[in-house]
Structure 1
Amino acid sequence: MKAGMILLALLLAAPAAEAGSFTPPKGCETFLTVQARGCRVSNHYRCTADAPGDQWRADFDQEGMFFLSRIDRQTQWVESYEFNPNLRQTLDPNPTDPASFDDLLAGRDDFDFNLSKDDGAHSHVTGHDALTGRTVVIDGTTLRETRFDFTETDAEGQVLRRSRGREFVHPELRLFFAGPSEWWDGEKWLPMDGSPMKILKPGQPGFAATQPIFECGALMSSYRPQPAPQPDLATEAQSHDDL
């Protein structure tokens, strides 16, 4: 919490982000920058004050940071922040079936947990992630492919979000990356694709960038991702990347 609030104070008070300008809070270190489809760049960092295995991710579009999140070693969604308006969401204690990255690496992880927002809203998330058995190489990094399916409902049981599709995981870094997916808008499935395009480590050109470079344009406010190749959703299908 403390590291997140420091980052909020630093970045929300700053002018529009400039390429290569990301600096995490004191006591934290950036270890990965990911340029993705859909005009998004993410900077991943760790802080010594956090529990071992905790990781932060700061997402930027052309106008600056729009999302901040922290996960634990099992990739549970500990807390996240949205902006304009500012809103914090946290994982409720004692989940029925907590997310487990270890279970996923063994083949499949089912999850069932609750989330609370500081505006008083509560929601319930159920779903699963499963390895497909396939690997992909993106910008020289080998990732394992997953299928996922999750549903988020409000306190009355009304569906708030539902998504299914594919993601990619980095077993050693214990990270999820978005992939081709579909989101239910209440009437139909809409294709999305936030797949990583460049995965950058310290010292590489573009590391710590805060300006996205893929699928961006002057009219990003009306941007709609292009249809992505659709997976075979009849087989195994939480999106940890954007929950």
Structure 2
Amino acid sequence: MRYLAALLCLAGPATAQSGAPVFSVPGGCDVYLTVQIESCSVSHYFTCEGDPAGHQRSVRLDEQGLTYVGEIDGETQWINSFHVVTGHRERLESEPVEPASFSELLEKGIDDFDFRTLSDEIGETRYVGQDTLTGRQITIDGVTLDETTYDITAYDPAGNEIWSAQGNEFISREWNRFFPGTGTVTTSGGTTARSDRPVEFIFPGEPGFLSSQPKHGCGIAVS
């Protein structure tokens, strides 16, 4: 949690020489990619000294600031997540029934998962679902990604469904991670659609790298 505290302290935008606000990460962390997303958000992907081999971290910001902090392992399991808006943290259980496996997805084209996250704020949540490669490749801003479909349902400790979601995402074999796409989420209140597709991939030294300001889809009224 010291990492998280440091990150939240640094979450306020610094300012580049150009005058544009940029996002700062704790010392010992190396950001390799900034992604501008079409739903008025921007994400930064990085690794940190002292983390286990294969672990990666990410943050996501909207117009108001930091919204999400996450850590995955080499199999893209959700090791730790902090949801800023709701103020709750989740950590992966020690022995999942069916761990998520990026390598199995690449090898077999399909990966089933069944795991729980534990949270001091909201309790236990069980996630059951499947990721599948569609066989289709997509190039976005010069970066080639593999398309996936996903189907996931979240349950409370009593086995009651909290929400379910279906749609498409993307994976990068080079960076060993998922990127968001499009889909629907169904709760007791109904079904909503969302598109979080990447628009721009920005690398160190390029304009907009580490920007704290989302560029795409902002200010659009949603009925």
- TM-score, with length taken from structure 1: 0.85
1:198 aligned partner: 200
**Shift of the alpha carbon at 1:19?**
4.4
User: 2:188 is paired with a residue of what secondary structure?
Assistant: coil
1:81-230 to 2 correspondence within 5 Å? 81-106=82-107, 107-186=109-188, 188-217=190-219, 224=222
- Cα distance in structure 2, aligned partners of 1:65 and 1:188: 27
- Counterpart amino acid of 1:151? T
Cα displacement string for residues 46-100 of structure 1 (whole angstroms, at most 9, x for unaligned residues): 0011011111111000011111111111000001111244221111110001110
Question: How many residues were matched structurally?
Answer: 219
CA-based RMSD: 1.9
- Cα distance in structure 1, aligned partners of 2:178 and 2:73: 12
- Cα distance in structure 1, aligned partners of 2:20 and 2:214: 8
User: 2:105 is paired with a residue of what secondary structure?
Assistant: helix
Q: Percent identity?
A: 37
- Cα distance in structure 1, aligned partners of 2:39 and 2:146: 21
2-11 or 89-98, which deviates more: 2-11
**Shift of the alpha carbon at 1:15?**
6.3
Cα displacement string for residues 184-206 of structure 1 (whole angstroms, at most 9, x for unaligned residues): 13364322110000011111111
- TM-score, with length taken from structure 2: 0.92
- Cα distance in structure 2, aligned partners of 1:144 and 1:196: 13
User: 2:50 is paired with a residue of what secondary structure?
Assistant: coil
1:3 aligned partner: 3
- Cα distance in structure 2, aligned partners of 1:76 and 1:5: 22
- Alpha carbons of structure 1 residues 37 and 132: separation in structure 2 relative to 1, 3 Å: same
- Cα distance in structure 2, aligned partners of 1:123 and 1:139: 36
- Cα distance in structure 1, aligned partners of 2:122 and 2:180: 28
User: 1:53 is paired with a residue of what secondary structure?
Assistant: coil
Cα displacement string for residues 113-140 of structure 1 (whole angstroms, at most 9, x for unaligned residues): 0011122511110001010000000000
- On the 8 A contact 2:14/2:22 being kept in 1, the answer is no
- Cα distance in structure 1, aligned partners of 2:70 and 2:161: 23
- Counterpart amino acid of 1:208? L
User: 1:177 is paired with a residue of what secondary structure?
Assistant: strand
- Cα distance in structure 1, aligned partners of 2:122 and 2:36: 34
**Gaps (5+ residues) in structure 2?**
none
The structure 1 segments of at least 4 consecutive aligned residues displaced by more than 4 Å after TM superposition are 15-20
- Cα distance in structure 2, aligned partners of 1:58 and 1:25: 12
User: 1:5 is paired with a residue of what secondary structure?
Assistant: helix
